[in-house]
């Protein structure tokens, strides 16, 4: 049961990490696409132009999704600590 338990919680941890990072990554992706389209239309080829909007979108996503992210991580940690005694064999 020990190896199955570790594999299950490692898989769950990776899923939670992907779910939690998704809003910030998707926001940065869409902002990058918008800035790239803007640069293509206006023919402004400035490398630093896309950096600031992406950072602002990521910070905005962190502000908006912080309660959900902390709740998700707290629930995962509680589940992990609750299931630890089931591993102890006497």
Q: C-alpha 8: how far from its chain's center?
A: 20
pLDDT (average), residues 65-76: 95
Handedness of CA 72, 78, 84, 85 (dihedral sign): negative
Q: Is the pLDDT of residue 1 over 50?
A: yes
Q: Tell me what pLDDT residue 90 has.
A: 44
Residue 80 pLDDT class (50, 70, 90 cuts): confident
Q: If pLDDT is split at 50, 70 and 90, which confidence band does 44 have?
A: confident
Number of H helices, E strands in the chain: 2, 0
């Amino acid at each position: 049961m020990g190896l199955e338990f570790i594999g299950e919680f490692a898989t769950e941890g990776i899923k939670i990490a992907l779910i939690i990072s998704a809003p910030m990554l998707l926001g940065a992706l869409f902002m990058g696409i918008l800035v790239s389209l803007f640069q293509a239309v206006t023919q402004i080829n400035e490398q630093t132009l896309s950096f600031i909007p992406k950072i602002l979108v990521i910070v905005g996503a962190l502000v908006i999704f912080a309660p959900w992210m902390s709740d998700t991580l707290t629930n995962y940690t509680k589940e992990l600590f609750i299931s630890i005694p089931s591993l102890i064999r006497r």
